[in-house]
Amino acid sequence: MQLNLQKLKLARQMKGLTIEETAEKVHMNVHALWRIENGHSQLKVQTFLKLMDVLEQPFTFLVKENQCFEPIGNKIDELKKILQSESLIQESKYQVLLHALENLEK
């Protein structure tokens, strides 16, 4: 899955957040977020989930066109494991996300 970097920056700006404020809310280094926004660093799933939450955008907004329709195979199981390890699996927003992902595979 590739992140649409322009939409990531746009989502942050639409929330009226500076890169420093966003980094603080996501609990990460400002330089690390800058590197992600500018395509110099990979985005970890945990960070992606935090950004979705802070920026209040669905994952489909932040991925490149056509990316959300590629086969996702074991990625759903991987995401479930991450959510379980972070004790987030029962939160309704993540349940909705998992349900949407599972429906894409059908």
d(CA 58, CA 97): 8
Q: For residue 72, what are the contacts with CB-CB under 8 A and spacing of at least 6?
A: 1, 101, 104, 105
3 state SS of 104: helix
Question: How many CB atoms are closer than 10 A to CB 16?
Answer: 7
Please tell me which of 50-54, 91-95, 96-100 the model is most confident about, judged by mean pLDDT. 50-54
Q: What is the pLDDT of residues 23-82, one digit of tens each?
A: 999 999 999 999 998 889 888 888 888 998 999 988 788 776 554 445 566 677 777 788
Query: pTM for this one?
Result: 0.59
Distances 86 to 9, 36, 57, 89, 93 between C-alpha atoms, Å = 26, 22, 20, 8, 14
